[in-house]
Structure 1
Amino acid sequence: MFNIINLLCFSIILGISNHVYCHNKYAKEANVKEELPDTETDFRPISLKHLDRPFRMAKLNLLWSKAVLRLSEPKLKMLFGELKLHDKEEITWKHLRAEGKDKDGMKEAELRKKLMTIMENYNLLDQADSVHDPNKARPFKPLNEASDKHINKSLFKDKKLNKLWEKAETAGFTQEELLALKEEFGHHQDKVDQYYALLHDVKGNPDNTETNSVDDSLDKYNEIELKEDPQPDKNGYLDKVNMLRDKHKEIRDHYDHLQILAAKGPASKEFVEPKVQGLWKIALESNFTPAELESLKVELRHYENR
């Protein structure tokens, strides 16, 4: 599957590159020696100035919002690259801190010094106080990061469904679109409830820790074997087991469908890197199956994190 997805990705990139090349080849400017467009920016917005909150760290998004008002496009490209690297370092440090490491604060001080150097290099030192003020940086959280204050985390009983709803609420849908999407999510919760009602009938009362969450743990219920019921099928046990499997597949397929719907919001940002986000948008508009899209998403995440 991964080989197929890689081939599809390559075909998309190659097709777009060939289109750009063929258009330029026969233009009247073809005889003038000039630098071809950088393939690294094929999928970027028309201008980096149009990027809104491209980083995972709110303080870097705050700094970026100031930089786009001052710097030229070439300098913005250089700054963007440096801040992308710094963004990853900050995220890594946050994970280390959560694990109880960097207790002496040495790494934190090093990152702070690096960021100050970046600001100095681009004449942005006057923004240092704002960048390091959590209250001023808070409004610049990434667009794909849900706010605890505005999201009802228990809107649905299913945990995965709630997480997907959080993404949908910040994906830029209109109120009418959100209402329609909420109705679709409600239908999915109904399917989950029906599944567990049937599961209760087949297996008895399942462990409460496994209910209210549609994930891969449900697969184990597809492994119900005849040895569990050696007696004749007096109560339609096998029919119920088959129905359970069908319901499970229906839930998985419908969840895949909801994922695609939620990702189509105008402000949806599955990825931070503009080029990768561009590839993902192209994939969503193509005729990939949910399984192929999921594999492609994994591949793109690997690519983005390289």
Structure 2
Amino acid sequence: MAKLNLLWSKAVVRLSEPKLKSLFSELKLHDKLEITYKHEKVGGKDKDGLKEAELRNKLTQIMKNYNLLDQADAVDDPSKYQAHKAMNVASDKYINKSIFRDKKLNKLWEKAEHAGFTAEELDTLKEEFLHHQNKIDQYYSLLHDVKNGPNEDAHENSIDENLDRFNEIDRAEESSKTKDYIDKANLIRDQSKDIKEGFDKLVVLTAKGPSSKDFVEPKVQGLWRIALDSNFTADELESLKVELIHYENRLLKLRHLQADTALNEEKYRIHKKAVGSKPVEESFIKDQIKKHTRKVEKIHLDIESRILERHGGEL
């Protein structure tokens, strides 16, 4: 929107590259929220203006976070919107690909951005991600207190690469452990478990996006979506996903055999007409198709029944 273009034009001459990347990401998300609101307003919603006020407060907070509050009056004045380069022509260097310090969390967020969520849903999901990043920060802060902290590059690594470090605390000599030391060690252990469970929750939330696709085969993707809405634990979902990957591989192999047979159908017909019998190759492939079809159907029914049992419903 024009007012965001104006704000961006002011920011590019004042902020550092890292801050510009962060601001660009926030303004793009806010732009989506503004567009959604515009459609809702045309439809007769937000007659009391509460949604509009909420969006205004969000933008004000963004300006405050980046020391751009002095541009508030200009942003509210439509006469000043013209002659400012649009944000969407900004160089790729401003697209923030590292919103979160934890690289694993950042990679998941990239997936979430392309999962088909609405702007409001994505905004809500981002709050969940930020909350999780705060947990990671608290974990490292506590770890620093107990062990003089991780190295300077710790935040650049995924949390999974560091969670096991607290185990070294238990190997310290008993005589060196104070009550405070032991309490913090136990807290680190609890926080590491909480971080893992929190990340697993974000994985499930991201996978529920309308455009999220973990599997190529629609039948397999359908089973996975039902599983996500069932009462499986994170570990059970992870195990089930591995099963579905193997199932999909078998299904794709079956599709390949069926396609190969269809492509060679004319060749088989000519051979049969010439010699009066089916070619050995045709009989072999069709036997393979029957064999794989039975296996695939059995696997599908097994996985489907286990998913529906936990889902409490039917397909």
Taking structure 1 as the reference length, the TM-score comes to 0.48
Which protein has the bigger helix share? 2
Of structures 1 and 2, the larger Rg is shown by 2
- Relative contact order (alpha carbons < 8 A, sep ≥ 6): 1 or 2 greater? 1
